[in-house]
């Protein structure tokens, strides 16, 4: 059950496998989660599908609800965006005012179809940098989760993948690392938002590996005796 001591989370464009995977894992960890979409109907359908899957697996009902993107951004304390790169800017522009004073977790990867297995970073350097430039310093943009396969998030156990967390505010990065851990992974401070380019570029590399070896590859940070 969600508790009042935890932040309310919204996932904009959260109707796909990645968004619903994060929603389920965060909700199971006790967070109130809002799945946002451009339309209320699509958000409600995603929540219904999620509840059906959980029931089929014998899992208890979780606190997930549906809203349009703007209402979701207004209602949440921390907002994540899981839309295709082509929709990132328009989605953020539509909710920019509602994001002021909040943390935005940007999961966007600048893939350019059909050559998604080729690194093609934008002129601004990264999707994370685009978000920070567009929203201004009133929003703490944190880039994360680009290297996690949605298929892993749809499962129930720990995920064998580490998460690079980039952003200009160390405190905001720390809050997002807590959410990474709540979702069953290890998160690591990876520097300022400029460094988001590295994690975003790695996604295309992992797409190549996935195709070559028929897997859902991720990344692991080695050389640590312990991780707090």
Bridge partners, residue 83, by sequence: none
Between 56 and 109, name the one with better pLDDT: 109
Instruction: Give the pLDDT score at 58.
Output: 73
- Work out the pLDDT band at 24, boundaries 50, 70, 90: very high
Calculate mean pLDDT across residues 200-204. 98
Instruction: Give the pLDDT score at 155.
Output: 85
Instruction: Give the pLDDT score at 54.
Output: 80
Instruction: Give the pLDDT score at 1.
Output: 45
Burial class of residue 220, CB neighbours in 10 A (0-12, 13-18, 19+): exposed
Calculate mean pLDDT across residues 196-213. 97
Among 5-9, 35-39, 42-46, 152-156, the minimum mean pLDDT is found in 152-156
Which pTM value belongs to this model? 0.94
Dump pLDDT digits (tens) for 110-162: 999 999 999 999 999 999 999 999 999 999 999 999 999 999 998 888 899 99
Calculate mean pLDDT across residues 18-47. 95
> Cα(118)–Cα(203) distance, rounded to whole angstroms?
9
Kindly report whether the peptide bond that precedes residue 114 is cis, defined as omega within 30 degrees of 0.
Answer: yes
Domains of the chain: 9-213 (3.40.50.720)
Between 104 and 227, name the one with better pLDDT: 104
Calculate mean pLDDT across residues 187-214. 98
In this structure, what is the dihedral angle of CA atoms 181, 185, 188, 190, given to the nearest 10 degrees?
-120
């Amino acid at each position: 059950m969600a508790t009042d001591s935890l932040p309310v989370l919204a996932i904009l464009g959260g109707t796909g496998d990645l968004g619903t995977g994060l929603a389920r894992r965060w909700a199971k960890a006790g967070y109130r989660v809002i799945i946002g979409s451009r339309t209320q109907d699509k958000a409600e359908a995603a929540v219904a599908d999620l509840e059906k899957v959980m029931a089929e697996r014998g899992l208890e009902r979780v606190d997930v609800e549906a809203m349009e993107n703007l209402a979701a951004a207004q209602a949440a304390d921390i907002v994540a965006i899981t839309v295709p790169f082509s929709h990132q800017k328009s989605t953020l522009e539509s909710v920019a005012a509602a994001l002021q004073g909040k943390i935005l977790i940007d999961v966007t990867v600048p893939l350019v179809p059909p050559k998604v297995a080729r690194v093609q970073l934008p002129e601004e350097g990264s999707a994370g940098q685009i978000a920070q430039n567009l929203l201004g310093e009133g929003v703490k943009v944190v880039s994360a989760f680009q290297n996690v396969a949605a298929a892993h998030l749809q499962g129930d156990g720990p995920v064998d993948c580490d998460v690079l967390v980039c952003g200009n505010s160390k405190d905001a990065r720390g809050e997002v690392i807590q959410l990474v851990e709540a979702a069953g992974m290890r998160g690591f401070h990876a520097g300022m938002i400029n460094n988001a380019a590295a994690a975003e570029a790695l996604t295309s590399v992992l797409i190549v590996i996935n195709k070559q070896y028929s897997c859902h590859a991720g990344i692991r940070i080695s050389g640590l005796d312990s991780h707090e």
